[in-house]
Amino acid sequence: MGIATGDSICSRVALPGERDDSTTPHEHDTIHQKQAGPSFKSDSAESYNHLQIAARATNDAVRDWDLGSNALAWPQGLENLLGYEQSFAKGQIGFWEERVHPGDRARIAASIHEIISSAAEHWSGEYRFRRADGCYLQLLERAWIVRNSDGKAVRFVGSLMDITARKQLQDQLTRSQKMEAFGQLAGGVAHDFNNFLTTILGYSDLVLAESGMKGTVASHLGEIRKAAGRASNLTGQLLAFSRRQALEPHVVEVNSLIVNLERSLLRLLGDNITVVCHLHREKEGAHIKVDSGQLTQIILNLTVNARDAMRGGGRLTLATTVTSLDEDRQSLPGLEDIAPGDYVVISVIDTGIGMNDEVKAHLFEPFFTTKDEGAGGLGLATSYGIVRQSGGQIRIESEVNRGTTVQIFLPKVPAPPPPAYKKPIGKNLPTGTETILVLEDDISVRHISVRILRNLGYQVIEAANGDDAQRQFTQRAGKTIDLLLSDMVMPEMSGRYFADWLRKASPHTKVVFVSGYLAESLHPGDRIEHGMFFLPKPFDPEQLATTIRQALDSPAPSR
């Protein structure tokens, strides 16, 4: 570490009332006089006794380092806190140095060297220290530097406090705040991006329907629409990541879910980690009925956890298989209470530091973390609940320094019937002649919405903001507005605020809200109520036409 000048054996540090053979009485007197004046002998003994009492009361460890000989003694806590026997420590400073975490070693060495070289009498620092069982504790050390009459540091006496639990709670709070901020950012990006996608989908369908074009140009437009559809799936993942309430389960093919996840999210793992996918080869696919947003979040958490276990790099493997479990499942511990049947297995395998039996015993406890410095946040308790609600199970295999395998078992379900072909827009779309007020601050979304609705036969009034919409309603002198199509989130006046105002003046008016945010992620004051309809962005002409007709044909809102 650059602190010690050599490793030598020292005898046990003298307790109060005893003589330390490593120094002469005269040397003790010199040191004591420098610290506390003529009465230091008695004061020093009393202080040292107080240090031991305080250390024992708090379960701290105490280390006493002779800076002249580099001898190290542990008057307290070596066995109780750190798990080592006195004979194993061998009285050498190297014992302490070697067990400081490599990531903290240089920083702590520089800090101690600086304080020893100064005139200061106290030092404190936080670092990770390896216990006898191989686990790292987060320690806070407060030290007293004893100096001789010349001001030279001759001893370094430190009290080591275990702050692992506190550090984990602090880190968990920080991570929660970061995830909340990232969720808000993801939701905002998805909202704006969904406006663009609504415009792309709408105009692509209009061009294909109105021009009747075929051949190369039509093919190119079709590819544009497909790309917009894939982008829509990506924004859906961002919204699922940022949302707080459960999604509805639906049938998905597990390989498609993993491929989409690998393309969009696993790049966050870093260049020093290789990502390998071993996917099943079932001809008919392997389908599961699950909340895909929540399952994506679970897999993301597992991969981030694997990344943190491979600080120096490694290999992350994502695998999918199909297996059949009968009533005799004793060969797979952890699956004793799972129902017999066919299961799809999603495996997340890392080559990281692994876990010991004690850690594995607490994995599913809330707020428990497997990280050395509280950098966990895996949330296995929540993940376990989600998988169990889907009829599945999570099992974990891990050994210290041999990596970790997490397997998610989910019931295999039949493949859904292939969707019938639907034209993007055509004469079969529901039409009408009612009057619709379109309130939308994004000009591209407003224009495509107005154009689609007018093509379907509706009378359309358009407004860019709430003030404009209020003005237009007032100028109509009581003429009927059958439906309000409004963006939910707008500057100055929200769509919900205007809808409440309009329904007081025109109680029979139906309301359809559109938004790039999920309905349940909106501000509580903007949530939709019974009798209101919600159309998420991006939407295509068919979705818009169907939702509008549904709302118009619904019973009048009760007042």
Query: DSSP states of 367-410 as a string?
Result: T----TTS-----HHHHHHHHHHTT-EEEEEE-TTS-EEEEEEE
Reply yes or no: is the peptide bond before residue 102 cis, omega within 30 of 0.
Answer: no
pLDDT of residue 20: 42
Which residues have C-beta within 8 Å of that of residue 5, sequence separation ≥ 6? 70
187 burial type by CB count under 10 A (0-12 exposed, 13-18 middle, 19+ buried): buried
Q: Do 435-553 and 25-162 have the same topology in CATH?
A: no
3-state class (DSSP) for residue 219: helix
pLDDT of residue 183: 60
Task: Report the amino acid identity of residue 479.
Answer: K
3-state class (DSSP) for residue 207: helix
The residues spanned by each domain of the chain are 25-162, 252-424, 435-553
Rounded CA separation 468/486 (Å): 13
CA distances from 549 to 428, 433, 453 (A): 13, 11, 11
Which residues have C-beta within 8 Å of that of residue 297, sequence separation ≥ 6? 240, 241
CA distances from 25 to 19, 21, 29, 270 (A): 8, 9, 6, 59
Task: Report the amino acid identity of residue 200.
Answer: I
pLDDT of residue 530: 59
Give the end-to-end CA distance of the chain in Å, rounded to a whole number: 76
pLDDT of residue 369: 60
Rounded CA separation 521/245 (Å): 8
Per-residue pLDDT in tens (0 to 9) along the chain, 559 residues = 444 433 332 333 333 333 344 443 334 433 333 333 334 444 555 655 666 666 667 778 999 999 999 999 998 889 989 999 988 877 889 999 999 999 999 999 999 999 999 999 999 999 999 999 988 999 999 999 999 999 999 999 999 999 988 887 787 677 667 656 766 676 667 767 888 888 888 888 888 776 666 777 777 887 888 788 777 766 765 665 554 444 568 899 999 888 877 655 556 677 788 888 899 988 889 999 988 877 887 888 888 888 888 888 899 999 999 999 876 554 566 676 788 899 999 999 999 998 887 777 666 655 556 554 444 443 566 677 678 778 888 888 988 888 999 999 999 999 888 765 455 544 578 999 999 999 998 888 899 999 999 999 999 999 999 899 999 898 887 688 999 999 887 877 888 889 889 888 888 899 999 887 654 444 445 555 656 788 888 888 888 999 999 999 988 765 5
Model pTM?
A: 0.44
CA distances from 368 to 334, 359, 423 (A): 19, 9, 51
Of 452, 439, 441, 445, residue with least CA distance to 537: 445
195 burial type by CB count under 10 A (0-12 exposed, 13-18 middle, 19+ buried): buried
3-state class (DSSP) for residue 497: helix
Rounded CA separation 367/421 (Å): 48
- Torsion angle of C-alpha atoms 284, 285, 286, 292, degrees rounded to 10: -140
| Number of other CB atoms surrounding residue 397 within 10 Å | 18
Of 418, 256, 246, residue with least CA distance to 344: 256
Structure tokens at 131: 């216990």
Query: DSSP states of 91-135 as a string?
Result: TBHHHHHHHB-HHHHHHHHHHHHHHHHSS-SEEEEEEEEE-TTSP
CA torsion through residues 161, 162, 164, 165, sign:
negative
CA distances from 454 to 247, 422, 461 (A): 34, 21, 10
CA distances from 101 to 372, 515, 526 (A): 10, 49, 50
Of 377, 395, 358, 423, residue with least CA distance to 168: 377
Residue 337 and residue 409 in contact, taking contact as beta carbons nearer than 8 Å: no
Task: Report the amino acid identity of residue 517.
Answer: Y
Tell the residue number behind the tokens 């891990």, with chain if given: 398
Structure tokens at 539: 């939407």
Of 518, 522, 449, 520, residue with least CA distance to 486: 449
Structure tokens at 257: 């879910």
Residue 443 and residue 462 in contact, taking contact as beta carbons nearer than 8 Å: no
CATH of domain 435-553: 3.40.50.2300
pLDDT of residue 104: 93
CATH superfamily of 252-424: Histidine kinase-like ATPase, C-terminal domain (3.30.565.10)
CATH of domain 25-162: 3.30.450.20
The H or E element spanning position 535 is strand 532-536
